[in-house]
Amino acid sequence: MALILAVVMLAALWLRLRLKLRQKEDFDLEAAVAAERQASEDRRLEALMQAQAEMQGRLATMTDLFGARQSEFNRSINERLDGMTHRLGSTITEQTKSTHDNLRILQERLAVIDAAQNNIQSLAKDVVGLQAILSNKQTRGAFGQARMETIIADGLPMGAYAFQETLSNGTRPDCTIRMPNGQPPLVIDAKFPLEAWNAIRDGATPEQKKLAGQQFRRDMEVHLKDISEKYLMHGETQDTAFLFVPSESIFAEIHENFEGIVQRAHKLRVVIVSPSLLMLSIQVIQAVLKDQRMREQAHLIQGEVIHLMEDLGRLDERTRKLQSHFLAAQKDVEMILTSTDKLNRRSARIEAMDFASAPDPTAKPAPQTDASVESRTGLLKLRLVDED
């Protein structure tokens, strides 16, 4: 037991000694590592100090260089700022002048805009008045009637048309145009169902527009039938009547989107006309009336032509008589010229004669020929010796 205890104590002592040796080795190793680390830190510090010295030298050089460049940069900046200030001042002056000019032009345009606005306000009042007219059936009918009457009155002479003339059946069409050659008059109706058309325009949804279109189609068919039944009377009116639409756009919409109405009007012998088509029709009628008036006055024209031909015949006869008088006068003048030529030659011979020997008084005179020249004023007698 004591031996075991001694062995245990020896083992514990050995372990403790081993532990101390291990601690000493570790301490020595740590000291060596610390010394090595210190030496390394010293070398690094020395290198860092050297690098710091180099860096300070470079910083001094860079500071000098940056100082010079900063001075040059400041000088350049100052020059540019001065130039920019000058240009900016000039630009501001020009901009100020331009701004004043633009403000003046703007004021002028604002004055024009104010005048235009006043015109627009006046036009708006007129549009409101027109809308009030179109919203009332009677005034709307009067509006279409007035426009139709203006077109017809401008294109046809007085007496070629009549407004609100009563027919034999008691109806009163808006206008009747008297046709030439005793033909029946042409009837024009100016009552257009504008309410149904405005309902199409005012429809907010496709369904409302569709319903309004159907109502417009029904109203048009009823109105076309009324025109055909009331105004188309055999022998009293023409076989065709006009329905006046007071708008070119409505006329185009009807022909584009309501082909059935156009076909129905054709079957009922009713022609839908716009202001331009009515004006064209009036011009054609005016040409026909003018041709009729010319044919009616043809016999008068022929009589005047006959009188003109008679006057021309008398003028020709008198001209020929005057020509004969001129020819006789010319012949007389030629005879006078012949006599004057003979006188001139005789005078020349008398001037050249030799009077050396006296003439014999007992000699018989030579026979002489009397020549007479008849003139318009009387008989001129000349005693000449004929040389021929």
pLDDT tens per residue across span 95-127: 888 888 888 898 888 888 888 888 887 777 665
pLDDT for res 88: 80
Contact 187, 148 (CB under 8 A): no
Residue in this structure with the two tokens 């205890």, named with its chain if needed: 5
Measured between alpha carbons, how far is 244 from 16 in angstroms, rounded to an integer?
136
Q: Is the Cα torsion angle 336, 337, 342, 348 positive or negative in sign?
A: positive
155 vs 129, higher pLDDT: 155
Helical ranges in the chain per DSSP H? 2-135, 137-155, 194-202, 206-231, 248-257, 259-267, 275-296, 298-352
Residues 131 and 248 grouped into a single domain: no
Look at residue 251 and tell me if it is in a domain. Answer: yes
Look at residue 207 and tell me if it is in a domain. Answer: yes
Q: Indicate the pLDDT class of residue 39, thresholds 50, 70 and 90.
A: confident
Measured between alpha carbons, how far is 243 from 148 in angstroms, rounded to an integer?
10
Least confident interval from 303-312, 337-346, 368-377: 368-377
Q: Which of 303, 322, 353 is the last residue of a domain?
A: 303
Backbone φ and ψ for 163, nearest 5 degrees, come out as -110, 135
Measured between alpha carbons, how far is 235 from 168 in angstroms, rounded to an integer?
11
264 vs 14, higher pLDDT: 264
Residues 215 and 225 grouped into a single domain: yes
259-267 vs 248-257: helix crossing angle, rounded to 10? 90
pLDDT for res 129: 52
Average pLDDT over residues 204-219: 86
CATH number at residue 246: 3.40.1350
pLDDT for res 381: 41
Residues 177 and 127 grouped into a single domain: no
Residues 181 and 114 grouped into a single domain: no
Secondary structure element (H or E) that encloses residue 374, with its range: strand 369-374
Average pLDDT over residues 232-243: 88
- Distance from the first to the final alpha carbon of the chain: 224
* pLDDT over threshold 60, residue 338: yes
Residues 131 and 143 grouped into a single domain: no
Average pLDDT over residues 328-349: 86
pLDDT for res 377: 40
Look at residue 318 and tell me if it is in a domain. Answer: no
Residues 197 and 290 grouped into a single domain: yes
pLDDT for res 376: 41
Contact 143, 246 (CB under 8 A): yes
* pLDDT over threshold 60, residue 240: yes
Look at residue 345 and tell me if it is in a domain. Answer: no
Measured between alpha carbons, how far is 201 from 208 in angstroms, rounded to an integer?
10
* pLDDT over threshold 80, residue 194: no
* pLDDT over threshold 50, residue 228: yes
Contact 197, 144 (CB under 8 A): no
* pLDDT over threshold 50, residue 358: no
Look at residue 67 and tell me if it is in a domain. Answer: no
Look at residue 353 and tell me if it is in a domain. Answer: no
Look at residue 8 and tell me if it is in a domain. Answer: no
Measured between alpha carbons, how far is 66 from 240 in angstroms, rounded to an integer?
105
Q: What angle do CA 140, 196, 230 make, to 5 degrees?
A: 70
Look at residue 260 and tell me if it is in a domain. Answer: yes
pLDDT for res 121: 79
* pLDDT over threshold 80, residue 142: no
Residue-range definition of the domain harbouring residue 110: 104-135
pLDDT for res 385: 43
Residues 130 and 208 grouped into a single domain: no
Average pLDDT over residues 182-199: 83
Measured between alpha carbons, how far is 148 from 32 in angstroms, rounded to an integer?
127
Q: What angle do CA 218, 223, 229 make, to 5 degrees?
A: 125
Average pLDDT over residues 56-65: 84
The DSSP secondary structure of 216-242, one letter per residue, reads HHHHHHHHHHHHHHHH--BTTB-S-EE
- Short-list 191, 293, 304, CA closest to 242: 191
Q: Which of 95, 120, 135 is the last residue of a domain?
A: 135
Burial class (CB in 10 A: 0-12, 13-18, 19+), 242: buried
Residue in this structure with the two tokens 């460049």, named with its chain if needed: 69
Contact 275, 151 (CB under 8 A): yes
Residues 120 and 181 grouped into a single domain: no
Residues 142 and 275 grouped into a single domain: yes
* pLDDT over threshold 80, residue 61: yes
Lay out the sheet containing 161-163: strands in order across.
161-163, 175-177, 186-189, 241-244, 270-273
**Token pair of 133, please?**
């007219």
* pLDDT over threshold 70, residue 297: yes
Q: How far is CA 161 from CA 148, 168, 243, 286, 358, in A?
A: 12, 17, 16, 11, 111
Residues 228 and 269 grouped into a single domain: yes
Average pLDDT over residues 2-20: 79
Residue in this structure with the two tokens 């022909």, named with its chain if needed: 255
* pLDDT over threshold 80, residue 219: yes
Average pLDDT, the chain: 79
pLDDT for res 354: 52
pLDDT for res 72: 86
Q: Which of 303, 335, 370 is the last residue of a domain?
A: 303
**Number of domains present in the structure of the chain:** 2
pLDDT for res 131: 56
DSSP 183: P
215 vs 134, higher pLDDT: 215
pLDDT for res 11: 80
Residue in this structure with the two tokens 């069409």, named with its chain if needed: 173
Residues 275 and 152 grouped into a single domain: yes
Residues 168 and 277 grouped into a single domain: yes
Contact 185, 177 (CB under 8 A): yes
